[in-house]
Structure 1
Amino acid sequence: MDASPLSKLFNPTSIAIFGASENGTSVGSLTYANLLADGFKGPIVPINPKYKKLGGAKCFAKITDVPDEIDLAVIATPARTVPGIIRECGEAGIKNAIVLSAGFGEGDGGGKDMEAQLLSAARRAGVRFMGPNCVGLVRPGIGMNATFLRSKTPQGRLALISQSGALISAISDWAEPHHTGFSALVSLGNSANIDFGDAMQFLATDPGTDAILLYVEGVRHAPSFISALRSAARLKPVIVLKSGRHVTSAKAANTHTGALIGSDAVFDAALERAGAVRAQTFGQLFAAAEILANTKKSTGNRLTIITNGGGAGVLAADRAGDMGVDLPALSEATIKKLDAILPQYWSHANPVDILGDAKPEAYSAAIKAVMDDPNSDGVLVMLTPQAMTDATAAAQAVIDALPKRRKKPVLACWMGQSSVAEARTLLSANGVPDFFTPERAVEAFSYLAQHHRNRRLALETPGPMANSHLPDLEGARMMIDAALAEDRDMLSDMESKALLRAFNIPINMTIEASTPAEALVAAETVGFPVAVKINSPDISHKSDVGGVHINIADAADVKRAFREIVESTKSARPNARIKGVTVEPMAHVEDARELVIGASRDQVFGPTILFGAGGTMVEVLKDSSVALPPLNAVLADRLINRTRVSAVLEAFRDRPAVDRDAVVEVLLRISDLVCELPEVVELDINPLFAGPDGVLAVDARIGIARPPARDGHYDHVAIHPYPRHLVTETHLTDGTPMVIRPIRPEDAENEKAFVKELSDEAKMFRFMGALNELSPEMLVQFTQIDYRREMALVSMVEIDGKMVQTGVARYVINPDDKSCEFAIVVSDRVQHQGIGTKLMKALFAAARDHGLTIMEGSVLKKNAPMLRLMTDLGFSQRMDPDDRELVLVERWL
């Protein structure tokens, strides 16, 4: 596997600094001084035509004069010179740069044009760069401080990626006195080339990084951001702070959905989907940094609090309630232990109030007892300075009482200032994160608990997919194309419902009528009683303009309703285009609840899906939740559960429960619709009637727009949906039908059974070691894949009347984005039927679809059948120089 293209950015062995000088105040001078001072082991070459030497080191006029190979260029020169320097770096073979220079991007002085020139120069030179307008990059583990920061950053295993240089500076200044070390401080600046996705992708697999903090001001490329965030959060905790939480769009939304979804709700949905945890304030980010620097994980959400002040304990308990942190009851065994060592008036509950005159011995004994309590997943120990309190001795007692290998996180909160300063330093220096306030301590624990919850939720896999009808994609696209050809941005009511019907969503039949006579014919066609509604592309909320009459039972009332609706609408909205009315039968779903399901287009993350309480009060109730497509049954269920109306779907009093599966199915079909039809930018189903016998879309409204010509089929979606275009039907050599298709989350049980039934030899060949069955983590990893970064194709054959997985071939794209590493295994039950060959050829096609040029892999030397298949498929073969039992195979695509 090729190394990451950013390896020489994060781990260079030699650095050139453009703009190095002796004046002591310039960015180049400060950065050069930092590079020299922090102990970087490799050559640091100054580039500045004004000097022959700098501090005894030879200074070069330009990079092409340097005789030695340079890994990284750090540029701190005026903006106008940077594009030329980047071109020279490309000529010198330097592929990575950090551009500290300001003057790019927005603002006066041609900053945007300058940035465009920089990007063009980098693209032509093949150079990846961080910045411009950034503070730089710190890698304490290799002694690299390529920044102009004034403070030294301690080494640790926590990484920070930030678009704000000021935040990088603040964290760096804060780190040393709080004994918080970092593996990397990454300042992205304008993120013109290297963005969050690139940095996270590297740090996700960086062995020196155990957790990642992000400070986000804006996301430039949502697909790479989400892809990298998902990858990183599966491996280590990721905490995100985003500014601009209350910025709202200036454009008024036409639909219910657009009005209900805010950009911050969408960002939350993106983080939840990726498995990251969100901090709300700058102080919370510091709290996250402190705990993650010392504690890597929690096994649950239950916190036990020890305190010598009842009021402080209550404050911590209140914040625990706010953050969803449980305060479990103490076990009987723990209570007995505490009864034996504490005064009789201790609280006998959680928080454990050991009373104001508690001696260090009380702290020590309480910590030992609580650490052994099976009801607790973490401990917060607190101290309020009182007359008889020895804060430093109590801190030492806590440290001495902790086991060398802590199975639970332990946090401290020594409240106050001068009298506890020494104790705080002692705690932090011994790996116990210490916080000034109870609230910050509880918030810090909540990040560990939320990460644990995210990991647990990620292990949920949906059941096998039901045999639902495929959508009529061709018909749906033809309807949209016809509307766009007429230069329309909204589908009519009838077209909207027809589009839903194309995706197998149950609808209430609608007929358009432009005259009272046509309305009567429509009413007789659908059957009385009917509802008559205004038909206008300019009116979203028909009832607001008197545009709805319901329960019309006879012919005369239909004609009267037509006239009254049209007159009322003209009076209320004289400029609205009126096409007549729509007529539909009165929807009847027994014991129905009114819901809203919709979709809207976020300017950053693309399509979003909304679920909530529907009806005419939808904007007032604002009971809704948001998710990013594509959805599966598990994700749709969570979307429903985040609303208050979800409780109403259950049975209560004399009303039976709603057919929840039918509601989930509508969400899945809407997800499919917005993924497959990039032209759909807004969609409302309001109300969706849901009852015990099914669902019915009563009213629908769909907004459309022509997508940018440059976009590929799924470029509008932040998370790549199921690539159904890769599904192929073929046959085994004996004529048995076989389907080869991409794997999906619903294949979890298939994949588990497939691997379990493999022979020991087949498992050894595939996994290079002994394996009985896939763990839950491996099952999620193998079935819930990121189709933008990897692919897995399964072969499905009907055996004994059931579709059975008979093989799987997969690849993961290497960091160079040009090659991929593959693996394949075929069931022992169906050997010598051509499955391996067909799977590999389908895998070649998928890799070409990804734009890849090389496929490579490793095969055990004793796996003769696989090596023969590799020969037949045109792979080159050579022995692995590091492991003589492996054969490296490679094929150009």
Structure 2
Amino acid sequence: MLEAFSNPRSVAVVGASREEGKLGHAVLKSLIDAGFLGPIYPVNPKADEVLGLKAYPSVKDCPGTVDLAVILIPGKLVAPVMKECGEKGVKGVIVISAGFREVGAEGLRAEHEIVDIARQYNMRIIGPNCLGYIDTIAKLNASFAPLMPRKGTIAFMSQSGAIASSILDIADARGLGMSRFVSLGNKADLNETDFLQEWGDDAETKVIMIYVEDIKTGARFMDVARAATRHKPVVAIKSGSTSAGTKAASSHTGALAGSDAAYTAAFRQTGVIRATTVEDLFDFSEAFTNQPVIREDGVCIVTNAGGAGVMAADAVEHAGLKLAQLSPQTMAALKEKLPPAASVLNPVDVLGDAQADRYGLALDIVSRDPNVNAILVILTPQIVTQPKETAEITARLMTNSPIPVFACWIGGALTAEGVKILTANHIPAYPEPERAVRSLRAMLDYRRWLQRPKFQPRSYDIDRKAIEQVFDAARKDGRLQIGDAEARAVMQALGIRVPGSGLAEDADEAVQVAEQIGYPVVLKIASPDILHKSDIGGVKVGLKDAAEVRAAFATIIANARSRKPEAEIWGCQVQEMIRGGREIILGVNRDPQFGPLMMFGLGGIYVEALRDVSFRVAPLDELDAREMVNEIRAIRLLRGVRGEPPADIEAIVDSIQRLSYLVTEFPEILELDINPLMVYEAGKGAIGLDMRLVLAS
């Protein structure tokens, strides 16, 4: 799809300059210096030649075909050149020029214009306002990046040109090569999802790195990422979190989600490994590039320092990993080969006087243990330590190991030579054990993603007509907010059980409904304009007889009229009093990038004060729903503590999936809360007590 960028036969540089210090000069020089094998055409109407190459007054004057054009002229001049490129038959355009949406409304119009031209001529655009594109396979450097990366197997995309330059420099310092590199800029046409799809099938790329500030097409990104991560690891760092979307939402879900929750959920649901720092971005990517993915949990630590071993063991536990249980045969072999004072447990302590040969003996033995699925070798420089020789023996024994091997040479100048040897032999070397362990954790997360069953969201036989009638009635009344009195019909149509209930316009009717349902009952204000009923004294519970119902009706109506005088009052909803069960909250808030963001948590203090909630992007499948439930800190309360029976977790999982299906099938739902959903003990189901939702205008 993007062959015009990854394998162009020829390149035109529009705005090529003879003047050093100009971008048009730097980009042309980068193209030449990279060794691009096809024709390079400088385009400059005021020059006969640039950097020894014949120059042409326009793209249309270049001889033969032009597959790729790089544009470096003022933004206001780009549109006519785009039209010339289209008429020439150019297939790919890199618009490095700035002056588009980033400068305001006029720039946005200019950006739309060049996209329209590109579509008219079936061209694709990188940029505008970008650093450019590099392809080490094609020996193409169509950028003003400060260096050409060495050839490698990491593909990197960045929304920020400045960050991209830094990433290239860090990669070079760490000895990491790249296959492809793109600075996305304003993403007027091509975006991160397009390159993820392209690179997911790229045989030259083993790992994909992403720096992103926003994702334009969230749902498509998730579909593409699910496919790409089945073939290779994708490591992403996301910046630019904002609370603006949170402030705009009025539901519990919107208030708790935050814009970053959708990205965290989307990455988790698609197998994308999220890095929180640039350091982690490189550590994880280097690990995936150079080592096999861990098969299952079980880390063995080999160290010459007890303290460092303890630090590593702590890091393993904090990361949710496990130390391998060494077999009796392994411990016997270690005891035979190591000094009496050495520890043959895990961590294996070869003692402070260990030289390279003792490390070699220990590594050879533990690497044969079937319980060991990863090895972390730690070295601290002591008077007899051999950092260089130990690195050499580690490399000799562990290169081509079927399990991942990480090194931690803790030090500076004394360990530097050993680190170089390890790195040259594709063994990641870290200055502290915590970084190595975080990389192992990322590897195990990816392994579990690969073992995960195929994504299969469930469909439900719901009463669509009943749901549409509720929505149509609200719109007919000029309303977008739907409260409990109406929303219970949506829950019933969705297959979620609701308590017995009826609407009463006056106190006499409230008593009639209560006696039909049976005491005790609950009364709630029924108003399309009052969604948070408790806030205005609009709920009374545990009403045991007609007198209490009449008194409660009068109080609720009076409260509503005094605190919400503008509200339309329908009366009171009389509802069956539900006893027992555990309160949970289910919610949805439609994220502008990813769509419906679902929330689950326990009700009451757990959601309001502790914010103990989990998020996923709909649609989701049974495994997603089950993970949502198990993810909250208070899960033990649902599983049963101190003799309490466990809650019906299967009913919760089913309710989450039903809600996911609803908001996927009805995209007009912007916000939705079921609060609370009362969950009974295992096997007895759940019942929705209150629901509210907001429709799109």
Superposition deviation, residue 424 in structure 1: 1.5
2:483–2:531 CA contact under 8 A, matched in 1: no
1:506 and 1:654 map into 2 onto residues whose CA distance is 27
The residue that corresponds to 2:661 in the other structure is 672
The residue that corresponds to 2:128 in the other structure is 132
2:127 and 2:217 map into 1 onto residues whose CA distance is 15
Superposition deviation, residue 237 in structure 1: 0.7
2:460 and 2:379 map into 1 onto residues whose CA distance is 63
**Alignment CA distance shift 1:134-1:391 (3 Å):** same
Q: Could you tell me which of 324, 333, 340 is aligned with 2:320?
A: 324
Letter in 1 for 2:445: Q
The residue that corresponds to 1:28 in the other structure is 24
2:561 and 2:278 map into 1 onto residues whose CA distance is 52
The residue that corresponds to 1:236 in the other structure is 232
Matched, 1:196 2:192: yes
More off after superposition, 113-122 vs 567-576: 567-576
Superposition deviation, residue 352 in structure 1: 2.0
1:199 and 1:460 map into 2 onto residues whose CA distance is 22
1:500–1:507 CA contact under 8 A, matched in 2: yes
1:366-765 equivalences under 5 Å are 366-403=362-399, 405-458=400-453, 470-570=461-561, 578-588=569-579, 592-615=581-604, 618-650=607-639, 652-691=641-680, 692-706=683-697
Matched, 1:53 2:49: yes
More off after superposition, 323-332 vs 215-224: 323-332
For residues 647-696 of structure 1, give each alpha carbon's deviation from its aligned partner in whole angstroms, at most 9, with x where no partner exists.
33335555444333332222222112111112211111111112232211
Superposition deviation, residue 246 in structure 1: 5.8
1:381–1:412 CA contact under 8 A, matched in 2: yes
Determine helix, strand or coil for the equivalent of 1:685.
strand
1:131–1:187 CA contact under 8 A, matched in 2: yes
For residues 304-326 of structure 1, give each alpha carbon's deviation from its aligned partner in whole angstroms, at most 9, with x where no partner exists.
22222222223323332332222
Superposition deviation, residue 36 in structure 1: 0.6
The residue that corresponds to 1:264 in the other structure is 260
1:246 and 1:373 map into 2 onto residues whose CA distance is 48
1:131–1:188 CA contact under 8 A, matched in 2: yes
For residues 450-488 of structure 1, give each alpha carbon's deviation from its aligned partner in whole angstroms, at most 9, with x where no partner exists.
1101111235879xx8xx972111221122012012111
1:97–1:127 CA contact under 8 A, matched in 2: yes
1:20–1:46 CA contact under 8 A, matched in 2: yes
The residue that corresponds to 2:156 in the other structure is 160
2:271 and 2:545 map into 1 onto residues whose CA distance is 56
1:423 and 1:642 map into 2 onto residues whose CA distance is 41
1:209 and 1:101 map into 2 onto residues whose CA distance is 29
1:260–1:619 CA contact under 8 A, matched in 2: no
Superposition deviation, residue 79 in structure 1: 1.0
The residue that corresponds to 1:206 in the other structure is 202
Q: Could you tell me which of 177, 180, 183 is aligned with 2:179?
A: 183
Matched, 1:335 2:331: yes
2:352–2:382 CA contact under 8 A, matched in 1: yes
1:533–1:547 CA contact under 8 A, matched in 2: yes
Superposition deviation, residue 59 in structure 1: 0.7
Letter in 1 for 2:164: I
2:297 and 2:263 map into 1 onto residues whose CA distance is 24
**Alignment CA distance shift 1:660-1:357 (3 Å):** same
Superposition deviation, residue 428 in structure 1: 0.9
2:380 and 2:241 map into 1 onto residues whose CA distance is 35
Determine helix, strand or coil for the equivalent of 2:247.
coil
2:71 and 2:339 map into 1 onto residues whose CA distance is 65
2:213–2:238 CA contact under 8 A, matched in 1: yes
2:185 and 2:460 map into 1 onto residues whose CA distance is 48
Determine helix, strand or coil for the equivalent of 1:703.
strand
Letter in 2 for 1:505: I
Give me the TM-score of the superposition, normalised by structure 1: 0.75
Superposition deviation, residue 153 in structure 1: 0.4
2:37 and 2:335 map into 1 onto residues whose CA distance is 58
Superposition deviation, residue 279 in structure 1: 0.8
Matched, 1:10 2:1: no
Determine helix, strand or coil for the equivalent of 2:141.
strand
2:455–2:621 CA contact under 8 A, matched in 1: no
2:83 and 2:345 map into 1 onto residues whose CA distance is 68
More off after superposition, 492-501 vs 343-352: 343-352
Matched, 1:344 2:340: yes
The residue that corresponds to 1:304 in the other structure is 300
The alignment-based identity, stated in percent, is 39
Determine helix, strand or coil for the equivalent of 2:16.
coil
Superposition deviation, residue 252 in structure 1: 4.9
1:616 and 1:406 map into 2 onto residues whose CA distance is 50
1:536 and 1:494 map into 2 onto residues whose CA distance is 8
Determine helix, strand or coil for the equivalent of 2:103.
coil
Letter in 1 for 2:677: L
Consecutive unaligned residues of structure 1, counting only runs of 5 or more, are: 707-893
1:220-231 equivalences under 5 Å are 220-231=216-227
1:365 and 1:460 map into 2 onto residues whose CA distance is 45
Superposition deviation, residue 645 in structure 1: 4.3
Consecutive unaligned residues of structure 2, counting only runs of 5 or more, are: none
Letter in 2 for 1:337: A
**Alignment CA distance shift 1:458-1:245 (3 Å):** farther
For residues 529-553 of structure 1, give each alpha carbon's deviation from its aligned partner in whole angstroms, at most 9, with x where no partner exists.
1101123444444333332211111
**Alignment CA distance shift 1:596-1:136 (3 Å):** same
2:136 and 2:39 map into 1 onto residues whose CA distance is 17
More off after superposition, 107-116 vs 169-178: 107-116
Query: How many residue pairs were aligned?
Result: 695
**Alignment CA distance shift 1:130-1:542 (3 Å):** same
Letter in 2 for 1:149: A
**Alignment CA distance shift 1:246-1:315 (3 Å):** farther
Superposition deviation, residue 616 in structure 1: 6.6
2:28 and 2:450 map into 1 onto residues whose CA distance is 42
For residues 702-739 of structure 1, give each alpha carbon's deviation from its aligned partner in whole angstroms, at most 9, with x where no partner exists.
22123xxxxxxxxxxxxxxxxxxxxxxxxxxxxxxxxx
Superposition deviation, residue 63 in structure 1: 0.9
Superposition deviation, residue 273 in structure 1: 1.4
Superposition deviation, residue 248 in structure 1: 5.1
1:98 and 1:417 map into 2 onto residues whose CA distance is 43
Letter in 1 for 2:69: A
Letter in 2 for 1:529: P
**Alignment CA distance shift 1:246-1:469 (3 Å):** closer
More off after superposition, 71-80 vs 332-341: 332-341
The residue that corresponds to 1:875 in the other structure is none
The residue that corresponds to 2:35 in the other structure is 39
1:617 and 1:454 map into 2 onto residues whose CA distance is 29
Superposition deviation, residue 220 in structure 1: 1.0
The residue that corresponds to 2:352 in the other structure is 356
Superposition deviation, residue 206 in structure 1: 0.7
1:22 and 1:689 map into 2 onto residues whose CA distance is 74
For residues 194-227 of structure 1, give each alpha carbon's deviation from its aligned partner in whole angstroms, at most 9, with x where no partner exists.
0011101110111101111111100111122112
1:55 and 1:17 map into 2 onto residues whose CA distance is 12
The residue that corresponds to 1:249 in the other structure is 245
More off after superposition, 209-218 vs 315-324: 315-324
